[in-house]
Amino acid sequence: MQPKSKHKITTLTGIAIVVANMIGTGAFTSLGFQLKDLNNPSVVLTLWVLGGILALSGAFSYAEVGTVISKSGGEYAFLSKIYNPLIGYLSGWISITVGFAAPIALAAIAFSEYFPFGNFNAKWMSIALVAIITLIHTRSLKLSAEFQNISTLLKVILIVIIIGVGLILPEHSGNDIVSSKGYFTELTSTAFAIALIYVSYSYSGWNAAAYITEEFENPLKSLPKALIGGTVLVTVLYTLLQYVFLKHVPIENLAGQLNVGTITTQQMLGEKVGNFFGLAISLLLISGISAMVWVGSRVTLSIAKEHRLWSYFQTQENGIPKRALWLQFGISALLLLTGTFEQIMIYCGILLTASSLMTVLGVFKLRKQNQNQQIKGFKSPLFPLFQIVFILLSVWMITYAFINNPFETILGMSNLLIGTGTYFWSKKLEKSNY
């Protein structure tokens, strides 16, 4: 029997994990990709508000599902219970192969892009960073919680400072933030649907607390507060942050750029101060990497407890899944060596959206199954309004992604086929042991 860690996390740490998972690469990078095809700032801001509504709709649903199925592992635990073990396994497979490893890789790339000093090889610098953070999380759950709380607080303070300064200073000459020119044309365009994938990636992490449900002191109360509270806070910060970017830099100077945060702060405060903020942003991306390293390994742990093929990655000591942590590092390193930023983002976004969509659909099934029972747990408000919003927007994004990014979509489908193969391989191993 594996020894368990005595340390449990609070609601505050849960909110910090959600905020840290959400505020990462996308907040400071994805705007540049959106502006390659969208030219109306009002449309872009609408995009970020809509992304927040999508994330909040998901958070309401996950809070309900997570307080009924009170297990760590996120979609793996939820979908295994709601549908069948294969569907749950495939969602866990997505989490292991891209759900956390890919965002970790993306955040590490962004760190190297924002870091203003030295002429380092970006890929190897990113790999070294992920390795160091992984090492920290192999020490103890208490150290993980303290590191997460402090780094997240510093990240939020930095964003609030950028927003505050950006709101006070006058806008760049010629920038027209509130514009109706071509608004509805862009709003209903293919480019808007694709841009929503980038934004949904930027908001990914709103479900982070659901992966560590069993590590809360009081999951029934803490899980909904962490999911919903963290999502609302990030939605407000994200929308204001993008407003500041658009207010101070002409669209043509941001389009296609990865380091929009540095560009904006240089425009507002000069090159030297802008470089300082670039350094600060790069250092505080560490918080997002840390949160994903922590949470992602728990999915592997959940699968390892129930599937023979993954048994090697079960908890080793003090409740810390060390082998799962290093497996995740290996996958992130592989993605860093082989993928481009934009391809990873689209590929990851499609699979994560599909997995979350299945969980939100599960709310309907759970309600039907438990309609005659008194089940303690959170109830999503205005049911089924938020679920319908999430489902419609998710299907819309996946459809346009399939049409416009067939290569990344085929990669995603191939990944699921490989995952199905490992599921039946694991089942065969289990039978051979009898």
Confidence of residue 392 (pLDDT cuts 50, 70, 90): very high
Answer yes or no: is pLDDT of 313 > 80.
yes
What pLDDT is stored for residue 432 in this prediction?
Answer: 74
> Which structural domains are found in the chain, ordered by start?
11-427 (1.20.1740.10)
- pLDDT tens digits for 327-379? 999 989 988 887 665 666 676 777 788 888 999 999 999 988 877 676 677 89
Peptide bond into 85 cis (omega under 30): no
What pLDDT is stored for residue 1 in this prediction?
Answer: 39
Question: Residues near 368 by Cβ (< 8 Å), separated by ≥ 6?
Answer: none
Long-range contacts of the stretch 371-377 (C-beta < 8 A, 24+) = 375/68, 376/67, 376/220, 377/64, 377/67, 377/68, 377/220
What pLDDT is stored for residue 54 in this prediction?
Answer: 92
pLDDT more than 90, % of the chain:
19
- The model's pTM is 0.79
Give the chain as a 3 state SS string.
CCCCCCCCECHHHHHHHHHHHHCCHHHHHHHHHHCCCCCCHHHHHHHHHHHHHHHHHHHHHHHHHHHHCCCCCCHHHHHHHHCCHHHHHHHHHHHHHHHCHHHHHHHHHHHHHHCCCCCCCHHHHHHHHHHHHHHHHCCCHHHHHHHHHHHHHHHHHHHHHHHHHHHHCCCCCCCCCCCCCCHHHHHCCHHHHHHHHHHHHHHCCCCHHHHHHHHECCHHHHHHHHHHHHHHHHHHHHHHHHHHHHHHCCHHHHCCCCCHHHHHHHHHHCHHHHHHHHHHHHHHHHHHHHHHHHHHHHHHHHHHHHCHHHHHHCCCECCECHHHHHHHHHHHHHHHHHCCHHHHHHHHHHHHHHHHHHHHHHHHHHHHHCCCCCCCCCCCCCCCHHHHHHHHHHHHHHHHHHHHCHHHHHHHHHHHHHHHHHHHHHHHHHHHCC
What pLDDT is stored for residue 65 in this prediction?
Answer: 92
Among all chains, which residue has been given the structure tokens 């449900």?
Answer: 213
Nearest to 115 by CA among 102, 103, 126: 126
| Averaged pLDDT, 170-184 | 70
Average pLDDT, the chain: 82
Answer yes or no: is pLDDT of 4 > 50.
no
What pLDDT is stored for residue 228 in this prediction?
Answer: 93
What pLDDT is stored for residue 56 in this prediction?
Answer: 94
pLDDT more than 70, % of the chain:
90
| Averaged pLDDT, 198-227 | 83
Residue 7, sorted as left (phi over 0), alpha (psi -120 to 50) or beta, turns out to be beta
Structure tokens that stand for 22 in this block: 């959400």
* Lowest mean pLDDT segment, chosen from 242-256, 261-275, 349-363: 261-275
Are residues 228 and 81 in contact, defined by beta-carbon separation less than 8 angstroms?
no
Residue 371, φ and ψ in degrees, nearest 5: -65, -25
Confidence of residue 421 (pLDDT cuts 50, 70, 90): very high
Confidence of residue 243 (pLDDT cuts 50, 70, 90): very high
Q: Distance (Å, rounded) from C-alpha 151 to C-alpha 159? A: 13
Nearest to 20 by CA among 325, 289, 224: 289
Sign of the CA dihedral with 423 first, then 429, 433, and 434 last: positive
- pLDDT tens digits for 272-288? 777 777 777 777 778 77
What pLDDT is stored for residue 290 in this prediction?
Answer: 82
Q: Distance (Å, rounded) from C-alpha 115 to C-alpha 111? A: 6
> Which span out of 53-62, 178-187, 267-276 was modeled with the highest average pLDDT?
53-62
Q: Distance (Å, rounded) from C-alpha 208 to C-alpha 298? A: 11
Q: Distance (Å, rounded) from C-alpha 339 to C-alpha 193? A: 23
Tell me the CA end-to-end span of the chain in Å, nearest whole number.
21
Are residues 197 and 349 in contact, defined by beta-carbon separation less than 8 angstroms?
yes
> Which span out of 102-106, 300-304, 343-347, 418-422 was modeled with the highest average pLDDT?
418-422
Nearest to 85 by CA among 429, 354, 427: 427
What pLDDT is stored for residue 345 in this prediction?
Answer: 66
Higher pLDDT, 298 or 236: 236
- pLDDT tens digits for 106-164? 788 878 777 766 677 778 888 898 999 898 888 776 776 777 777 778 878 888 988 99
Q: For residue 190, count CB atoms less than 10 angstroms from its CB and return exposed for 0-12, middle for 13-18, buried for 19 or more.
A: exposed
